[in-house]
Chains A and B, each alone.
Chain A
Amino acid sequence: MAERTTRELFLGDGAAVDGGSEHLHVNMGPAHPAMHGIIRIFAELDGETVVKAEVEIGYLHRAFEKDCEAGPYNHAIPFTDRLNYVSPLINNFGYASAVEKLLGIDITERCKYIRVVMSEISRICDHLTCVGASAMELGAFTVFLYMIKAREFLWELVEDVTGARLTISYGRVGGVKADLPEGFDAKVRNALVEVRQVLREVHTLLTGNRIFMDRMVGVGALSREETIAWGITGPLLRAAGVPFDVRRAQPYWAYDRVEFEIPLGKNGDNFDRYLVRMAEMEQSMRIVEQALAGMPGGAINVDDQGKPIDPAAYVDKGKQGKTEGLLLVPITLSPNLQGQDRGAQGRVNVRDKRVVLPPKEDTYGSIEGLMNHFMLVMDGYGIRPPAGEAYFAVEGANGELGFYVVSDGTDRPYRVRCRPPCLPPVAAIPRMIEGEMVADVVPTFGSVNMIGGELDR
């Protein structure tokens, strides 16, 4: 028997053939500390180099599109919260806008501005989470904590407006659930001061940091042409130098009335993606400030004549037939119904009986209001767009978020299709990581900002 080498002694006969190496198959995920969601990357390694990779998704599939077909139009709003759960407001508004397009209605000016403000706040939250989490995976735990702190300030704003932090269900077809709370401007300004402070700190910690740069510069790069061919939009496309942003290219809501820049990268690598996201947060804050300053409708509370009355007493009076003058009396609502009184309702919702629930005074105080309310919530009635189809795209935090809605003329959507912005980059992950080191998988995956809820629906 021939003399065995040390290598063969340890690794078995034949280990020395073909340079002594054989490819190693490694599973990252479905549950892996560096995977932000449940996803499986199956990589074939030659030493530390990824030679081939395959991505498997679907672990978080919740039949979003099928569920949307099962209920009336507004029933899909809570489902859309759970698409991109880091910036759910954008999904809410995107879906509502698609249905509004199908109906052919135009929302109120104030509502447009509210949607812009809330979408941009969500976008900042999303970018903060993405940058923070990918920095943490590279060892920068401080950055993660700072950014989560900043996100907390913004989520408090979201909570103020919607009553919830994550499952907000704030959008409605034809408007929003309720008006902005009192003193919201001041709170936003205070929060933005904090966020700007955090971003300055993070810039000093990361941008130019040797370790961070070494892991990010030139890693996971896609050329301009490839990025487009892979259908990638959003920060990843802009990092490759393509100035496509739905907010600018095909302005919706009030985006044509605010000034902002579209930050562009050059190399399409992870570092450019990081820089684009950091710059976009500043632009989003500019948009929020301008939109708040330009928001029509003035103060939230207009002075109403007549003293307010409790809803229960209102209903009692109505039952006894004492309805004279009742319609003119504003009612005080429980905190979770704030902003649904007549004044707020008129500012934030379209005046269209086919679409929007009447203000609570009318529902409680007049038979017409009550009938209108029931016509909208009864099975088989509700919002009934004409038969047809419409595609509406908004700029989500990860790129173009599109909703394609088909109506057959009934009160249920015949088909709802969500075009998930993070599916194309996830599909392109093998292309981005093949030929690179296995350690580079982590920052590349982080820069993709995969969100399971929207990827798997």
Chain B
Amino acid sequence: MDGQAILARLRARLGGRVLETHDFRGDHTAVVAREAILDALAFCRDDHGLAFDLLVDITAVDYLEFPGREDGPRFEVVYHLYATAHNHRVRLKVRVEEDDARVPTASGLWPIADWLEREVWDMFGIRFEGHPDLRRLLLYEEFVGHPLRKDYPINRRQPLIGPKV
């Protein structure tokens, strides 16, 4: 199935909950409303025509300093999906505001979402609701802040921690 057909199928299923689509450089992308993201992911996985069985990646982007988007929703959570049977890809995105940075978890659909979402929480401070164990993945528990946010300075030092005595 080509990219346009994938996006059309998503729109047919989700209607107005697909907020925006584009295919910049051949990467077909759909921006989905937050309350529809679980539906969209489950539909992508289970629909026979789409059959996106491989969750390639979950990441996020902080649009705080992006020209023209300073006022819009601050974060975008980005899902990359691949279908092993049909050999096609799609990218889904969800926009969330800073003071309400919550997205429903996809760990019920794919076990790997567990770690990928932990990393997003670690780096961006976006909460995944319903996640079984939302701890930091790469950094340590005592770390303050979320380093991939644009307002986290690159040269900030964190206090060294030692073994607890």
**Interface check A52, CB cutoff 8 A:** no
Which residues of chain B come closer than 8 Å to A244, judged between CB atoms? 54, 84
Chain B nearest Cβ from A97, distance in angstroms:
12
Structural contact, B138 and A391, CB atoms closer than 8 A: no
Interface string of B116-141 (1 = CB under 8 A from A): 10000001000000000000111110
In the complex where A387-B67, A427-B112 touch, is A231 in contact with B56 (Cβ < 8 A)? Answer: yes
CB-nearest residue of chain A to B80:
A391
**Interface check B12, CB cutoff 8 A:** no
> Would you list which residues of chain A between 230 and 246 have a CB under 8 Å from chain B?
230-233, 242, 244
Contact partner, A417, options B54, B57, B82, Cβ 8 Å: B57
Structural contact, B57 and A404, CB atoms closer than 8 A: yes
Interface string of A369-400 (1 = CB under 8 A from B): 00000000000000000011111010000001
A249→B56 CA distance, assembly (Å): 15
Interface string of A421-434 (1 = CB under 8 A from B): 00110011001000
In the complex where A101-B25, A408-B66 touch, is A229 in contact with B84 (Cβ < 8 A)? Answer: no
Structural contact, B61 and A424, CB atoms closer than 8 A: no
Chain B nearest Cβ from A115, distance in angstroms:
19
Structural contact, A390 and B24, CB atoms closer than 8 A: yes
Majority-rule SS of A interface residues: mixed
Structural contact, A389 and B27, CB atoms closer than 8 A: yes
**Interface check A104, CB cutoff 8 A:** yes
Which residues of chain A come closer than 8 Å to B54, judged between CB atoms? 228, 231, 233, 244
In the complex where A57-B138, A58-B137, A414-B66 touch, is A390 in contact with B25 (Cβ < 8 A)? Answer: yes
Which residues of chain B come closer than 8 Å to A409, judged between CB atoms? 67
Chain B nearest Cβ from A133, distance in angstroms:
24
Which residues of chain A come closer than 8 Å to B89, judged between CB atoms? 250, 391
In the complex where A57-B137, A229-B111, A389-B27 touch, is A402 in contact with B154 (Cβ < 8 A)? Answer: no
A231→B54 CA distance, assembly (Å): 6
Structural contact, A456 and B138, CB atoms closer than 8 A: yes
A389→B123 CA distance, assembly (Å): 20
Structural contact, A423 and B115, CB atoms closer than 8 A: yes
Chain B: residues with Cβ within 8 Å of the partner, total of 37
Structural contact, B140 and A58, CB atoms closer than 8 A: yes
**Interface check A200, CB cutoff 8 A:** no
Chain A nearest Cβ from B45, distance in angstroms:
10
**Interface check B105, CB cutoff 8 A:** no
Structural contact, B138 and A457, CB atoms closer than 8 A: yes
Interface string of B77-91 (1 = CB under 8 A from A): 010101010010101
Chain A nearest Cβ from B120, distance in angstroms:
10
Structural contact, B80 and A231, CB atoms closer than 8 A: no
Which residues of chain B come closer than 8 Å to A419, judged between CB atoms? 56-57, 59, 80
* Sample of 6 more A-B contacts, CB < 8 Å, known A58-B136, A65-B148, A419-B56: A104-B25, A231-B54, A388-B24, A402-B56, A402-B57, A408-B67
Interface residues of A (CB under 8 A from B): 57-58, 61, 63, 65-67, 69-70, 101-102, 104, 228-233, 242, 244, 249-250, 387-391, 393, 400, 402, 404, 406, 408-409, 414-415, 417, 419, 423-424, 427-428, 431, 456-457
